[in-house]
Amino acid sequence: MNHLPQAWGRPRDDYYGAYDASYFQSNGPNQHTQQPIVTGTSVVALKFKDGVVIAADNLASYGSLARFTDVKRLRTFADTSVVGFGGDVSDMQYLDRLLNSLDTEEAYTSSGHTLNARNLHIYLSKVLYKRRSDFNPLWNQVLVAGLDEEKKPFLASADLLGTTFSAPSLATGFGAHLAQPLLRKVAPDEEAAATLSKEQALEAVKESMKVLFYRDARSMDKYSIAVVTKEGIDLKENEKLENQSWAFADQIRGYGTQVN
Amino acid sequence: MTSIGTGYDLTNSVFSPDGRNFQVEYAVKAVENGGTSIGIRCKDGVVLAVEKVITSKLLKPGANKRIATIDRHMGVVSSGLVPDGRHFVSRARDEAASWRQVYKTPITTKDLASRMGGYLQAYTLYSSVRPFGITAIVAGWDSEVELPVDGEVGSGPSIGSGGKVEGKKFGGPALYMIEPSGLYWGYYGAATGKGRQSAKAELEKLDLASGNLSLQDGVKEAAKIIYIAHADNKDKEFELEMTWISNLDGPTKGRHEEVPKDILEEAERLAKKELEGDEDEEETKEEDKPADGDKMEE
The two beta strands, A60-62 and A38-40, are antiparallel
Rounded Cα distance between B122 and B129, Å, is 9
Q: Which of A27-41, A65-79, A198-212, B103-117 has the lowest mean pLDDT?
A: A27-41
pLDDT digits (tens, 9 = 90+) for A57-113: 999 999 999 999 999 999 999 888 999 999 999 999 999 999 999 999 998 987 777
Q: Which of B31-35, B60-64, B291-295 has the lowest mean pLDDT?
A: B291-295
Contact predicate B51/B195, CB 8 Å = yes
Residue A165 zone, left/alpha/beta (φ > 0; ψ -120 to 50; rest): beta
Distances (CA, A) of A252 to A174, A209, A257: 19, 20, 10
Whole-complex ipTM: 0.83
Q: How confident is the model at residue B207 (pLDDT cuts 50, 70, 90)?
A: very high
A200–chain B nearest CA distance, Å: 30
Determine whether the interchain pair B255/A107 forms a contact, defined as Cβ–Cβ distance below 8 Å: yes
Return the residue in A62, A93, A114 with the most chain B beta carbons within 10 A, the one to mutate for interface testing.
A93
Q: Which amino acid is at A229?
A: T
Ramachandran angles phi, psi of A88, nearest 5°: -65, 130
Distances (CA, A) of A189 to A135, A195, B150: 36, 10, 38
pLDDT the model gives residue B282: 52
Segments making up each domain of chain A, as ranges:
38-239
In this model, does residue B298 exceed pLDDT 50? Answer: no
Catalytic-residue membership of A33 = yes
Q: Which residues of chain A are within 8 Å of residue B65 when distances are taken between CB atoms? A: 110
pLDDT the model gives residue A6: 72
All structural domains of chain B, each given as residue ranges with its CATH number in brackets, are 22-158+168-282 (3.60.20.10)
Can you point out the beta strands (E) in B143-220?
Answer: 172-178, 184-186, 189-192
Contact predicate A143/A155, CB 8 Å = yes
Determine whether the interchain pair B150/A100 forms a contact, defined as Cβ–Cβ distance below 8 Å: yes
In this model, does residue A138 exceed pLDDT 60? Answer: yes
pLDDT the model gives residue A160: 96
Determine whether the interchain pair B151/A72 forms a contact, defined as Cβ–Cβ distance below 8 Å: no
In this model, does residue A116 exceed pLDDT 50? Answer: yes
Determine whether the interchain pair A107/B69 forms a contact, defined as Cβ–Cβ distance below 8 Å: yes
Say yes or no: B194 contacts chain A, CB-CB below 8 A: no
Q: How confident is the model at residue B286 (pLDDT cuts 50, 70, 90)?
A: very low
Q: Quick one: fold of A38-239? A: Glutamine Phosphoribosylpyrophosphate, subunit 1, domain 1 (3.60.20)
Q: Which helix (H) or strand (E) holds B271?
A: helix B261-286
Choose the closest CB to A71 out of B154, B243, B255.
Answer: B154
Ramachandran angles phi, psi of B119, nearest 5°: -65, -45
Ramachandran angles phi, psi of B184, nearest 5°: -140, 140
Q: How confident is the model at residue B144 (pLDDT cuts 50, 70, 90)?
A: confident
Return the residue in A108, A113, A140, A235 with the most chain B beta carbons within 10 A, the one to mutate for interface testing.
A108
Determine whether the interchain pair A96/B150 forms a contact, defined as Cβ–Cβ distance below 8 Å: yes
How many CA atoms lie less than 13 Å away from B5 in the CB half-sphere? 2
Chain A residue closest in CA terms to B97: A101
**For helices B82-103 and B109-122, angle between their N-to-C axes, nearest 10 degrees:** 130
CA angle (B115, B116, B120) in 5-degree steps: 125
In this model, does residue B250 exceed pLDDT 70? Answer: yes
In this model, does residue B294 exceed pLDDT 80? Answer: no
Say yes or no: A60 contacts chain B, CB-CB below 8 A: yes
Q: Which of A128-132, B181-185, B291-295 has the lowest mean pLDDT?
A: B291-295
Q: How confident is the model at residue B251 (pLDDT cuts 50, 70, 90)?
A: very high
A255–chain B nearest CA distance, Å: 34
Chain A residue closest in CA terms to B98: A101
